[in-house]
Amino acid sequence: MNTGLQKYFPMIRTRAEVLAEIQNQPKLSGNFQNWKKEQQEEFLDCVTGAKGVKILYDAFFKEIMNPETTPERLEQFLSLVLGESVKIKCVLPTDNSRIADESSLLIMDILIELEDGSLANLEAQKVGYMFPGQRMACYSADLLLRQYKRVRGEKGEAFSYKDIKKVYTLILYEKSSKEFHRFPDEYLHWIRPVSNTGIRLEWLQEHLLIPLDIFRLNLQNKGINNELDAWLTFLSADEPEMIEQLIKTYPQFKPMYQQIYEICRNTERVMELYSEELKILDKNTVQLMIDEMQDEIDGQKRRLIQKDEQLIQKDEQLFQKDKRIDHLSLENEQLSRQYKQQMQEIERLKRELAGQKQ
């Protein structure tokens, strides 16, 4: 009898079936044994439906949200987050010479041109710490420059800066950085240029940041209330109960899960995908630890500099006190001499007075 997600997706295999296939193929068995126990359990839970598959894994996301084969899915998602109807004109190749350092915890990268000529770059990050505002600005500038070069080349002398359309940088964070946790009720952060006077000009760069971990916290309290909530649940939730609720309320997601579990039937392919994700995670966990240690070292260095400055200030204060003490000592010495002189003068005057009386 099918239980859990198998009720909805009969192609999901049992734990025993998956393990039997792995054990019968030396290559798969060797890879499986190289994983840690918790990694083995996570893999088995995902492919057997005990837990949902992580949709943001590169291969799964690009398969399910492929703008070339199923553009309507990405169009629907972008329409909801951008707040306007979106039609994908074409998928643009990623530029190998782009500014960004792709060794970070980058999960996927989809670059598309919309029907109105605007460009949208959709990225996902496992760790928000690795995608600070500076990097986001570079991505956006890179995207704008690419459009500028292309449009100027096409238009030639007829080129006008008004020919340049907006560029959107959309970032999905699986685990957001501490800045986002200052806003526990917000998970859609629009960043647009704003003037101090209210003047409105046609700015071209816009950013939308979506911390999925904060969305999940809100989901536990508020539930799925609209279609955008449904999409964010699809992208972030791996609890079977939540997936069951999602496909009952929004059945358009069921074919996407079916596609995912069809992929999971290819054990060798899914194990290769999972191994690649583990390699990226291990590599970047080390990098994250190095960065955190460097931050700690930099913090200690700043504190040492501050203490040195405080010592210098204290030395200066002591020096000034010593100067005042020296000055007071000099004054005391001068007063003492004056006192002695005055006493001597008084004694002289007394003798003179006594002589006059005699």
pLDDT digits 0-9 by tens, 30-59: 999 999 899 899 999 999 999 888 888 877
Contact by Cβ (8 Å): 174, 143: no
3-state helix, strand, coil in the chain (%, to 5): 60, 10, 25
List the one residue out of 112, 42, 114 whose CA is nearest residue 123. 112
Q: Is the pLDDT of residue 101 over 50?
A: no
List strands edge to edge, sheet with 205-211.
Answer: 88-91, 106-114, 119-127, 167-175, 205-211, 189-191
**CA gap 233, 243 in Å, rounded:** 8
pLDDT for residue 81? 93
pLDDT for residue 345? 79
Contact by Cβ (8 Å): 77, 112: no
pLDDT for residue 57? 81
Averaged pLDDT score across all residues of the chain: 84
Q: Which residue has the tokens 């590169």?
A: 58
The residue among 162 and 106 whose pLDDT is bigger is: 162
Q: Is the pLDDT of residue 316 over 70?
A: yes
Confidence band, pLDDT 50/70/90 cuts, at residue 310: confident
Report the 10 Å Cβ neighbour count for 40: 15
Q: Which of 42-51, 99-108, 118-127, 228-237 has the lowest mean pLDDT?
A: 99-108
Cα–Cα distances in angstroms (integers) from residue 11 to residues 56, 173, 177, 240, in the given order: 21, 30, 38, 16
**CA gap 223, 242 in Å, rounded:** 9
**CA gap 64, 67 in Å, rounded:** 9
Confidence band, pLDDT 50/70/90 cuts, at residue 117: confident
- The vertex-174 CA angle with 110 and 37, nearest 5°, equals 115
Average pLDDT over residues 165-173: 92
Q: pLDDT tens for residues 106-115? A: 444 688 888 8
